[in-house]
Chains A and B, each alone.
Chain A
Amino acid sequence: MSKLVKSLEEAIKLCGLKDGMTISFHHHLRNGDFVLNMVLKEIAALGLKNMTINASAIFDIHEPLIDLIKQKVVTGIETDYMGRTVGEAISGGILEKPVIFRTHGGRPGAIDTGRTPIDVAFVAASQADDMGNCTGKFGKSACGSLGYAMSEAAHAKKVVVITDELVPYPLNGFSIPEVNVDCVVQVDAIGNPAGIVSGTTKITRDPVGLKMADLAVQAIIASGLLKDGFSFQTGAGGASLAAAVFLKDIMVQKQIKGSFVMGGITGYLVDMLEAGCFRNIMDVQCFDLKAVDSLAHDPRHLEVSATHYASPFTKSSIVDSLDVVILGATQVDTNFNVNVHTNSQGIIMGGSGGHSDAAAGAKMSMIIAPLSRARMSLVVDRVQTISTPGKTIDVVLTQRGIAVNPRREDLCEKFKTAGLPIVTIEELKARAEAINGIAQPLKTGTKTVAEVEYRTGEIIDTIKNIL
Chain B
Amino acid sequence: MRRTMLFLPGNTPNIIINADVLGADSVILDLEDAVSPDQKDAARILVRNALKYMNFGSCEIIVRINPLSSGMWKEDLDEIIPLRPSVIMPTKVSASYDVEHIAAYITEVEKKAAIPEGSTQIMPLIETARGVENAFHIAEADKRVCAVFIGCEDLTADLRCVRTKTGTEVFYARSRVVCAARAAGIEAYDTPFTDINDKEGLRKDAEFAKGLGYTGKACISPRQVDIVNEVFSPSDADIEYARLVFKVIAEAKAQGRGAVSLKGKMIDKPIVDRAAFVLEMAKALGKGGADHE
Contacts and interface: CB of A to CB of B under 8 A. Distances in A.
Interface in B96-150: none
A207 B18 contact: yes
Contact of A400 (B21, B54, B221): B21
Interface in B17-31: 17-18, 21-23
Contacts of A434: 55
Contacts of A210: 222-223
B286 A211 contact: no
A310 to B, nearest CB: 34
Contacts of B17: 372, 435
B23 A211 contact: yes
A399 interface: yes
Contacts of A208: 18, 21-22
Given A419-B286, A435-B17, A211 B22 contact: yes
Interface string B1-40: 0000000000000000110011100000000000000000
Nearest to B14: A374
B52 to A, nearest CB: 14
Interface string B183-206: 000000000000000000000000
A211 B224 CA distance: 12
Query: Looking at A207, A419, A434, which has the most chain B CB atoms within 10 Å of its CB?
Result: A207
A400 B19 CA distance: 11
Contact of A207 (B54, B223, B286): B223
A207 B222 contact: yes
A316 to B, nearest CB: 41
Interface string B210-244: 00000000000111001000000000000000000
A211 B15 CA distance: 14
Interface string A399-411: 1100000000000
Contact of B22 (A207, A372, A419, A435): A207
Contacts of B222: 207, 210-211
Interface residues of A, number: 11
B55 A399 contact: no
Nearest to B22: A207
B55 A211 contact: no
Nearest to A398: B21
B9 to A, nearest CB: 13
A214 B226 CA distance: 11
Contacts of B54: 435
Contacts of A399: 18, 21
B49 to A, nearest CB: 14
Contacts of A211: 21-23, 222
Contacts of A435: 17, 54-55
A389 B21 CA distance: 29
Contacts of B21: 208, 211, 399-400
Contacts of A419: 286
A210 B286 CA distance: 23
A211 B18 CA distance: 11
Interface string A163-196: 0000000000000000000000000000000000
A247 B192 CA distance: 28
A191 to B, nearest CB: 35
A400 B23 CA distance: 11
A419 B285 CA distance: 11
A372 B222 CA distance: 19
A210 B223 CA distance: 8
A146 B18 CA distance: 41
A413 B55 CA distance: 29
A207 B286 CA distance: 24
A308 B221 CA distance: 44
Interface string A259-295: 0000000000000000000000000000000000000
Nearest to A431: B55
A435 B54 CA distance: 7
B93 to A, nearest CB: 29
Contacts of B286: 419
A203 to B, nearest CB: 12
Nearest to B8: A207
Nearest to A401: B21
Contacts of B221: 207
Interface string B143-183: 00000000000000000000000000000000000000000
A434 B23 CA distance: 20
Contacts of A207: 18, 22, 221-223
A214 B55 CA distance: 24
A17 to B, nearest CB: 51
A54 to B, nearest CB: 40
Nearest to A372: B17
Nearest to A434: B55
A208 B222 CA distance: 9
Contacts of B226: 214
A57 B17 CA distance: 36
B100 to A, nearest CB: 38
A214 B22 CA distance: 12
Interface in A378-408: 399-400
Interface string B238-260: 00000000000000000000000
Contacts of A372: 17
Query: Looking at B17, B21, B55, B221, which has the most chain A CB atoms within 10 Å of its CB?
Result: B21
Interface in B255-293: 286
Contacts of B18: 207-208, 399
Nearest to B23: A211
A350 B286 CA distance: 42
B15 to A, nearest CB: 8
13 contacts: A207-B18, A207-B222, A207-B223, A208-B22, A210-B222, A210-B223, A211-B21, A211-B22, A214-B226, A399-B18, A419-B286, A435-B17, A435-B55
Identify the 7 closest CB pairs spanning chains A and B, nearest first: A207-B222, A399-B21, A208-B18, A207-B22, A400-B21, A211-B21, A207-B223
Interface of B: 17-18, 21-23, 54-55, 221-223, 226, 286
Given A207-B222, A211-B22, A399-B18, 19 more contacts: A207-B22, A207-B221, A207-B223, A208-B18, A208-B21, A210-B222, A210-B223, A211-B21, A211-B23, A211-B222, A214-B226, A372-B17, A399-B21, A400-B21, A419-B286, A434-B55, A435-B17, A435-B54, A435-B55
